[in-house]
Amino acid sequence: GAVVSQHPSRVICKSGTSVKIECRSLDFQATTMFWYRQFPKQSLMLMATSNEGSKATYEQGVEKDKFLINHASLTLSTLTVTSAHPEDSSFYICSAFNSGNSYEQYFGPGTRLTVT
Amino acid sequence: GQSLEQPSEVTAVEGAIVQINCTYQTSGFYGLSWYQQHDGGAPTFLSYNALDGLEETGRFSSFLSRSDSYGYLLLQELQMKDSASYFCAVPSGYSTLTFGKGTMLLVSP
């Protein structure tokens, strides 16, 4: 199956700083990637859809100026959490789908962000 | 919009069979997916049903009834490693997925 990686797996940052999370499709090209946020014991909430070569599409309630998404190549999307606050502490997961099967998404291992 | 309902928790013993139900309300329906997520890990795809009926993949099976807006995941011969959260999901719009709140399965010896 397709492999998606994320880096870093864990990050601790101070309040007010910015953090960049990378999502890579290792053995396939992904024109579209997705960013989710998951709080403990809760479901995955879609934050935004990242489109290669164009602007990301953000879900309602997600601040596009706070969560900057860049999808500069067919294998890399980045999420930057700007001016992080403790309430941004969460598990951030990216995903992509290979070819036309959008119902079968491949997820990265996730990034645990802790803002102190 | 899309909404999915599934039980928050299910418990069972090793070797047993367990069924996790999912009911959904969608503005357009393309199919029902199931994902497994171990604590602290990434969700992994289990199955997808676009048509009514039962799809079997080893110990796991998934069922769909479009007329009832209902599906379930059936896990047989439960093993300790099956303890995880299970999410039903529906495609919504172009390629996005909406997930249910998840069912935590606890398998005990």
Interface contact flag, A44 B87, Cβ < 8 Å: yes
Return d(Cα B87, Cα B28) in angstroms, integer: 19
| Span A8-21, pLDDT tens digits | 999 999 999 999 99
Question: Measured between CB atoms, does A102 come within 8 Å of chain B?
Answer: yes
**Would you state the pLDDT for residue A16?**
97
CA–CA min distance A47, chain B (Å): 11
Question: Measured between CB atoms, does A27 come within 8 Å of chain B?
Answer: no
Interface contact flag, A103 B31, Cβ < 8 Å: yes
| Span B8-54, pLDDT tens digits | 999 999 999 999 999 999 888 889 999 999 998 999 999 999 999 99
- Residues A24-29 have a mean pLDDT of 90
CA–CA min distance A97, chain B (Å): 8
Helices and strands (DSSP H and E) totals, chain A: 0, 11
- Residue written as token pair 């102190």: A116
**Sheet harboring B3-5: ordered strands across?**
B3-5, B18-25, B70-75, B60-65, B53-57
Looking at every residue in chain A, the average pLDDT score rounds to 92
How big is the A-B interface in CB pairs under 8 Å?
52
> Given a cut of 90, is residue B96 above it in pLDDT?
no
Return d(Cα A112, Cα A15) in angstroms, integer: 15
> Given a cut of 90, is residue A27 above it in pLDDT?
no
Higher pLDDT, B2 or B36: B36
Give the mutation candidate from B97, B101, B104, B105 for the A interface (greatest A CB count, under 10 A): B97
Confidence of residue A34 (pLDDT cuts 50, 70, 90): very high
Return d(Cα A6, Cα A76) in angstroms, integer: 10
Which of these, A29, A28, A10, lies nearest to A19 by C-alpha position? A10
